[in-house]
Structure 1
Amino acid sequence: MARTLAGLAVLVAVVAGVGSEPFLRALSSVDPGLVFVALVLSAVATVAAAWRWSTIAGRLGVALGVREAVAWYYRSQFLNTVVPGGVVGDVERAVTQGRDAGNLPQAARAVVIERTVGQLVQVAIAVLVLVYLGSEFQGVLLPVLGIGLVLLVLAVLGTAASSARARRAMRRELGELAAGIGSPVVLLRVVIASVVVVGCHVATLGVAVAAVGASVPPLRLAALALVVLVSGSIPLNVGGWGPREGVAGWAFAVAGLGASTGVAASALFGVLTMISVAPGLVVAVGSTVRRARTHSATPPAVLTVAHRGVGS
């Protein structure tokens, strides 16, 4: 709840700073062609992410077909977008797959590793691009990323020093991480899939930038897009909204393109993202209907025995 409120507060501050015009410009820029492009890019990104998840899950002993993974990933993205917190969909797919595979802990680890690797690859790409193409952002963003890395390392070391039990747990999880992506071939697949996902998101934001009327050279656009995308990972947001719009306004202002243009592009990106995960709603409804039909088709005697078994 606190994170959601913080995200709302940031969004209100952005509106107070630039007004409602950028958001209205974003909404007025939506058209069928733009939606089609966003849906295609989202589909490619979803398939790549689902392949990444399927690969890691298989390594951890909870086999998952790519086709099934794509359906669950769409549903996960939809829930992450519409439910505050941004992780409900990931929890749901971990639990669902864990129940189906009969191994909830390994299914949960597969989801955590998959999402973590994706975020790390995105940050690594952002750092490389900023070093070579984003000189105007280096003085702020690179120190921020460096401080974040130091804090993460300190948190890990502090946890390890707290108790022997914590150290055993960390060694166990590191072993699971090695099992999930330890093979060079698997690591390459996971990195390639992550690069495809990031590339599709960058392309979607680039389309949004063009749609709101800004003309930005491709390499400069890549740097701006990665700055905005990394800010969208800050866990103080509402379905991705909040810090992303604030950072987009700052980054575009620094680049000489105007804060309102950055906010408009980020807002349009958010709208396109929400539309692009709409297939997840279809998957969620279909899954609910199938479960209801399966339940109604189960003979009453079987249901009675099952309930007795659970209570015993």
Structure 2
Amino acid sequence: MSDGVVPGGRRTAWAWARPAGGAGILGVLVWQLGTVPFLEGVRAISVWSLLAATAITALATVCSAWRWQVVARGLGVGMSLREAVAAYYTSQFLNSALPGGVLGDVHRGVQHGRDAGDVGRGLRAVAWERAAGQTVQVVLLVVVLCAMASPVRPVMVWVLAAVAGTVALGLLLVVRSRPRGAASRRARVLRAARADVRHGLLDPRAWPVVAGTSVVVAAGHTGTFLVAAWTTGTHASPAQLWPLAMLILFAMVLPVSIGGWGPREGVAAWVFGAAGLGAAQGVAAATAYGVLGLVATLPGAVLLVTDRVRRGRLRAAPVAVGTG
């Protein structure tokens, strides 16, 4: 009995720890800077900034959906681009509105898997698509931080050394832990992963789309942050803001947030302060970005309701026919 209770308890504790971590970061920022930066970030939002963020988000969403469509097709659970765009808008809205920042992706994977008749492949397609996008984002981040001035540029040599050592250690562990039995569960998982990568990511018809769309998506999110920064009164050039924005947005992947809130504002306060732009200004810009991002994904809320109504009617249709 204890074997079944402990893992469940750990999962429950982690489920509470993730939003608690984000709330803790926000609490520290309020304690140190007050509520004014957060309020200023909301008050500064204008019509033009909303229009710009919505347009940029639309482009990034179409590119993300295209990337997902290509990966899913390689895994044998393809869909139309229109379906992919609608589902991606919905997942982005759920990611922004719900704690954790990943529940929308889970919903997207499960729903598409059910529609395609294979929930496992549906979830794997989402996982590989998101992993590919974040990998490209990391590569771009490293290149930008090495090439452009930022508070972390002096330590980038040590960061690259640490990353290289970690990757080498990981590869070594994978090689040494290669399963001996061809029928073992680990062997099946590794074979499935290799097949997914080969067909979903590295196929000649897939990888150019995956790489190209990932670059556009990363640039789009960074551009939206620049809009938020300028909207809140940051007087800095794109060259000065670009590496800061990429570093701040990368913090959103940390698994301790409330719909993306928390680490983003914490890192924004740090890098803006270190760059001489002011920690409060960084929090205001990050707050504006969060609000702009939520508003720009509101079409996903409409699509979610519409999809629920449509599916409800489809489920009720056979019953209505039978009773008539």
- Given the two structures, how large is their TM-score scaled by the length of structure 1? 0.90
Structural mapping, 1:37-76, within 5 Å: 37-76=52-91
Matched-pair contact (CA < 8 Å) for 1:224–1:252? yes
Counterpart CA distance in 2 for 1:162 and 1:3 is 33
Which shows bigger deviation, 160-169 or 39-48?
A: 160-169
Which residue number in structure 1 is paired with residue 283 of structure 2?
Answer: 263
Quick one: which of 67, 71, 77 aligns to 2:92? 77
- 202-211 or 144-153: bigger deviation: 144-153
Q: Which runs of 5+ in 1 are unaligned?
A: 304-312
Name the CA distance, whole Å, in 2 between partners of 1:235 and 1:149.
Answer: 23
Q: Kindly report the root-mean-square deviation, in angstroms, between the aligned alpha carbons of the 2 structures.
A: 2.2
Instruction: Give the CA deviation at 1:91.
Output: 1.0
**Deviation, structure 1 residue 215:** 1.3
Residue 4 of structure 2: aligned partner: none
Q: Distance in 2 between matches of 1:211 and 1:162?
A: 52
Instruction: Write the letter of the residue equivalent to 1:112.
Output: A
Contact residue 131 and residue 138 of structure 1 kept, 8 A: yes
Give the match's secondary structure for 2:234: coil
Whole-angstrom CA distance in 2 between matches of 1:32 and 1:182: 42
The within-5 A match list for 1:1-312 is 1-139=16-154, 143=158, 147=162, 150=165, 154=169, 158=173, 161=177, 164=180, 165-299=185-319
State the Cα distance separating 1:77 from its structure 2 match: 0.7
1:87 positional shift = 1.4
Distance change >3 Å, CA 150–CA 281, structure 1 → 2: farther
User: 1:295: Cα distance to partner?
Assistant: 2.5
Separation (CA, whole Å) in 2 of partners of 1:27 and 1:148 = 37
Give the equivalent residue in structure 2 for 1:308: none
Identity %: 40
* Aligned AA (2:49): L
Q: Which residue of 2 aligns with 1:310?
A: none
Change (3 A) 1:169 1:295: closer
Flag the 1:220–1:102 CA change in 2: closer, same or farther, 3 A: same
Alignment size in residue pairs: 303
**Cα separation, 1, equivalents of 2:158 and 2:250:** 14
Q: 1:146-203: per-residue Cα shift (whole Å, max 9, x none)?
A: 6467557656755772855424422321221111012234211111101111111111
**CA contact 1:14–1:246 (8 Å) conserved in 2:** yes
CA contact (8 A) 1:127 1:142 kept: no
**Structure 1 pair 159–33 and aligned structure 2 pair: CA distance change class (3 A):** same
Q: Structure 2, unaligned stretches of length 5 or more?
A: 1-15
Whole-angstrom distance in 1 between the partners of 2:78 and 2:148: 41
Q: TM-score, with normalisation over the residues of structure 2?
A: 0.87
State the shift of 1:37 in Å: 1.1
Q: Deviations over 1:59-98 (max 9, x none)?
A: 1111111111000001111111112121111111111111
Distance in 2, Cα, partners of 1:177 & 1:162: 18
